[in-house]
Chain A
Amino acid sequence: MNALDLARWQFAITTVYHFLFVPITIGMGFLVAGLQTAWYRTNKLKYLRATKFFGKLFLINFAIGVVTGIVQEFQFGMNWSSYSRFVGDVFGAPLAMEGLLAFFLESTFLGLWIFGWDRLPKKIHLATIWIASFGTLLSAYFILAANSWMQHPVAYRINPEKNRAELTSIVEVLTQKTAVVTFLHTIPSAAFAAGAFMAGISAYLIIRKKDVEMARPTLKMGLITIIVSFVAISITGDAIGKVMTEQQPMKMAAAEALYETTESAPFSLLTVGTLDGSRSVFQIDVPSVLSFLATGDFKATVQGVNDLQAQYEAMYGPGNYTPNIPLAYWSFRLMIGFGAIAFFLALFTLWRTRKGGELPKGRWFLPSMIALPFIPLLAISFGWIFTETARQPWAVFGLIKTEDGVSAVVSAGSVLFTMIVFTLLYGVLAFIEVGLTLKVIQNGPTTELDYENPQLGGSSDKPLVMSY
């Protein structure tokens, strides 16, 4: 492997890993804020216990999300310096804004929330978790706008002398359709992941008879979050499909393994392609559905891989403009498939527990609830793997290829070394993170007298409500 391949693997590993923690952080922030609001409004201790319990789990997860996020910001310059030179004028702006507007807000207000129980009036303390959560939304918006610009560059001109893209309108970059639909798809996905996290853990607590009084409402909250967010994900996913067909037809063709341009194109349920991926040998299809998904019209023509390849060669010069089709095809289906599994599991569980009903008794139920938090993470990871790999060979669609973005001065050995260390370190952290999370869950929420309302104005000698 050369430095380019290694840098790509490093980006894939560190980014997919980082994004396992991000959706749970974004979603759980709001769910915990909701629980604390319920406590604030009703004064019921079960909501305070839920806030503390899920707050702990949220923070264990948040810590890894934060520290792995630093790598993301440095990585562009370290491994992708040619890319950075080319796009910095456009791409750097949303990144810097993310830092100034969002990172400061998140980190500062989360610090206030964690340690502020006895230092802030109740209402202001409640506000801190809402503000921190709002910060995570802002952060998501800016980084998704930056990514959307890679999917569909707008508001730029090429400066041939400096060989770079230059920004002509920040407003357009931040408000282009791609950014908006991507945000509206990603945020419900985060809620989806957090809902599954909360529902799975709550179901476990109920089965193990730990603080059922607290876990019943949080189970319901998690399940409803899954169901509502799945509906939103489906609607915005459909919108993304149409935007994608218009802006990156090759990606849509790859997702469907549609080799030839077709009228009333079918949606493929199963495709087996030749080994070199240049055409399919066996397919099971649903007639006309792809045309409808891609354009909203059952009869419309959907462009195929082979036509697009020829078209791009004419536009951009000789080269391979076809992404890895089996990867695109399967990651697209796994995204939808895992999402659907979590949705139906949630729907079934909610239906069974309606009006105070018991949880299903089958032997399969507990394992499926333990698996539940992981299912959306798989769906989300496959979604990103799809959207990023099916854009290849481009880093920024039509402007700069990934192979032209890699750092010229960094050796393959250096990238290999850092990749090995990051991978090992991330592995160890995952092991510790999961271990701590399981320990919190097994201990369950605290039901002792501990939750007297925190008192204000702790003096220097009073015990601290929160300490490291």
Chain B
Amino acid sequence: MTFQTTWFLLIAVLWIGYFILEGFDFGVGALLPFVSRNEADRRAVLTTLGPVWDGNEVWLLVAGGATFAAFPEWYATLFSGFYLPLFLILVALIVRGVAFEYRSKYGKAQWRQRWDIAIVISSVLPALLWGVAFANIVRGVPIEKSAEGNLEYVGGFFNLLNPYALLGGVVTLTVFLTHGAIFLSLKTVGGIREQARAYALKIGLVAAVAAVSFLVWTNLMLPELNSTVLALSTVVALSWVAGLVATLKGREGWAFICSAVAIGTFVSDLFYALYPRVMPSSLGAQFDLTITNASSTEYTLKVMTVVAVIMTPLVLVYQGWTYWVFRKRVGASQILNPERGVLDTATHILHQ
């Protein structure tokens, strides 16, 4: 296996990690007002994300950094080409992070309501846009050789809003909503858990329809039917259905594993369909960005491989440990003085 293939795989792994982890963050954020009846509920919902959301988001930062290091041409063409969607994602991620950290710090109801709206919008937007972006990459976008000899994206913003890509957006949005609802049903008790389960089933069915249509479309779009892409698509569909069945039966742990597997396999499927291209051009295969023409030198890839091989397992261990430390379910009754902001008093600190 060449180092270029290794890095293609590693970047796929980073995106898989990102979508599985921040995927449920997006879902939980978007469902915040819908699964909770009062302030205590809302704070319990957010507390399930509290210790982990930032670590989850780092998967994106590392995916971006790794793409820069391993495939600079891909990084440059993608980020300058998909300029406005990425900008919208950035704005959403900025607002979202601050909203999580600030909303419960202050006791005014209006303050919190505004942040809640911000959380919903800034969770829905990236959940939708990531699907649009990835579907466009798989479908191929207009890329041409510039006068300087670089492969540059030459389509505009609206070029990215084609039916296939929009369907991709609906898939990621509904899948992340379901994944988030399943996560909530796993991490909470009482009313929130019930509500979350109901949403997981309802939205999960919509997601199933959207995802299956998208995968069928993807398979048909390939120049010839590829048995591995087809097999992976089938695994996605089966594990998704298994996740819904597990939710229906109240087996929330299994449901979460299934939806995580479905998301991971879905991303693998798209990357497999791409390989060895990283950003195909719709204007002809000679303009495709591939793992060969987009990559860094073998030396850089080797250095980065050593770092990744040592660090990735370590990261998985300590991030996994965090989930273990905060494994207990959160209930609304555990939130003392929910109407008070953390800054109003510190009475949320334990009284015995």
The answer to whether A binds B is yes
- Which A positions have Cβ atoms within 8 angstroms of B? 52, 56, 59-60, 63-64, 66-71, 73-74, 76-79, 81-82, 84-85, 87-93, 95-101, 103-105, 107-112, 114-116, 118-120, 163-164, 166-168, 170, 407-410, 414, 418, 421-422, 425, 429, 432, 436, 439-440, 443, 446, 448-452, 454-455, 458-468
A429 to B115, CA, bound (A): 12
Q: Are A409 and B102 in contact (CB under 8 A)?
A: no
Given contacts A66-B97, A100-B315, contact A458 B68 (CB under 8 A): no
Q: Are B330 and A96 in contact (CB under 8 A)?
A: no
Q: Which applies to chain B's interface (DSSP): helix, strand, loop or mixed?
A: helix
The segment from B127-135, B169-177, B261-269, B338-346 found at the interface with A is: B338-346
Given contacts A167-B300, A451-B349, contact A73 B61 (CB under 8 A): yes
Given contacts A166-B300, A436-B102, contact A103 B347 (CB under 8 A): no
Q: Are B79 and A81 in contact (CB under 8 A)?
A: yes
Q: Smallest CB-CB separation from A167: which chain B residue?
A: B300
A–B pairs, 25, beta carbons within 8 Å: A67-B98, A70-B57, A70-B93, A71-B90, A78-B83, A78-B87, A82-B76, A88-B73, A97-B307, A100-B315, A103-B61, A107-B54, A108-B322, A111-B53, A114-B51, A167-B297, A414-B84, A432-B98, A443-B343, A451-B349, A461-B333, A464-B335, A466-B50, A467-B104, A467-B335
Q: Are A85 and B83 in contact (CB under 8 A)?
A: no
B residues in contact with A109, CB < 8 Å: 318
Question: Would you call B255 an interface residue if the criterion is a C-beta within 8 Å of the partner chain's C-beta atoms?
Answer: no
A residues in contact with B60, CB < 8 Å: 70
**Which residues 41-99 of B have a CB within 8 angstroms of A?**
43-44, 46-47, 49-55, 57-58, 60-62, 64-66, 68-73, 75-81, 83-84, 86-87, 90-91, 93-98
Shortest CB-to-CB span from B11 to chain A, Å, is: 10
Question: Would you call B224 an interface residue if the criterion is a C-beta within 8 Å of the partner chain's C-beta atoms?
Answer: no
Contact among A91, A432, A450, A458 for B349, CB-based, below 8 A: A450
Give the bracket for the number of chain B residues in contact with chain A: 35 or more
Q: Which applies to chain A's interface (DSSP): helix, strand, loop or mixed?
A: helix
Q: Are A115 and B326 in contact (CB under 8 A)?
A: yes
Question: Would you call B227 an interface residue if the criterion is a C-beta within 8 Å of the partner chain's C-beta atoms?
Answer: no
Q: Are B64 and A73 in contact (CB under 8 A)?
A: yes
Given contacts A84-B68, A439-B106, contact A77 B94 (CB under 8 A): no
Shortest CB-to-CB span from A24 to chain B, Å, is: 15
Q: Mark B304-343, 1 if CB is under 8 A from A, else 0.
A: 1001100110010011001001101111011110000011
The segment from B146-154, B202-210, B232-240, B278-286 found at the interface with A is: B146-154
Given contacts A56-B343, A410-B80, contact A468 B106 (CB under 8 A): no
A89 to B69, CA, bound (A): 6
Question: Would you call B1 an interface residue if the criterion is a C-beta within 8 Å of the partner chain's C-beta atoms?
Answer: no
B residues in contact with A89, CB < 8 Å: 69, 72, 296-297, 300
Question: Would you call B351 an interface residue if the criterion is a C-beta within 8 Å of the partner chain's C-beta atoms?
Answer: yes
- Which B positions have Cβ atoms within 8 angstroms of A? 43-44, 46-47, 49-55, 57-58, 60-62, 64-66, 68-73, 75-81, 83-84, 86-87, 90-91, 93-98, 100-106, 146, 148-150, 152-154, 189, 296-297, 299-300, 303-304, 307-308, 311-312, 315, 318-319, 322, 325-326, 328-331, 333-336, 342-352
Q: Are B343 and A440 in contact (CB under 8 A)?
A: yes
Given contacts A78-B87, A96-B66, contact A163 B153 (CB under 8 A): no
Q: Are A63 and B102 in contact (CB under 8 A)?
A: yes
Q: Are B90 and A464 in contact (CB under 8 A)?
A: no
Q: Smallest CB-CB separation from B87: which chain A residue?
A: A418
Shortest beta-carbon contacts, A-B, top 3: A88-B72, A77-B79, A92-B69
List 4 additional A-B contacts (Cβ < 8 Å) besides A82-B150, A118-B350, A167-B297. A66-B97, A99-B58, A450-B349, A462-B334
Q: Are A461 and B331 in contact (CB under 8 A)?
A: yes
A66 to B95, CA, bound (A): 11
Q: Are B80 and A167 in contact (CB under 8 A)?
A: no
Q: Are A115 and B51 in contact (CB under 8 A)?
A: yes
Contact among B149, B334, B345 for A461, CB-based, below 8 A: B334
A residues in contact with B312, CB < 8 Å: 100
Q: Are A77 and B152 in contact (CB under 8 A)?
A: no
Q: Are A410 and B83 in contact (CB under 8 A)?
A: yes
A284 to B341, CA, bound (A): 56
Given contacts A93-B304, A114-B51, A167-B303, contact A463 B97 (CB under 8 A): no
A168 to B302, CA, bound (A): 12
Q: Are B334 and A464 in contact (CB under 8 A)?
A: yes
A114 to B47, CA, bound (A): 11
B residues in contact with A167, CB < 8 Å: 296-297, 299-300, 303
B residues in contact with A81, CB < 8 Å: 76-77, 79-80
Given contacts A70-B90, A92-B75, contact A436 B148 (CB under 8 A): no
A residues in contact with B153, CB < 8 Å: 409
Q: Are A78 and B80 in contact (CB under 8 A)?
A: yes
Q: Smallest CB-CB separation from B349: which chain A residue?
A: A450
Q: Are A95 and B68 in contact (CB under 8 A)?
A: yes
B residues in contact with A421, CB < 8 Å: 87, 91
Given contacts A100-B62, A100-B307, A461-B333, contact A111 B97 (CB under 8 A): no
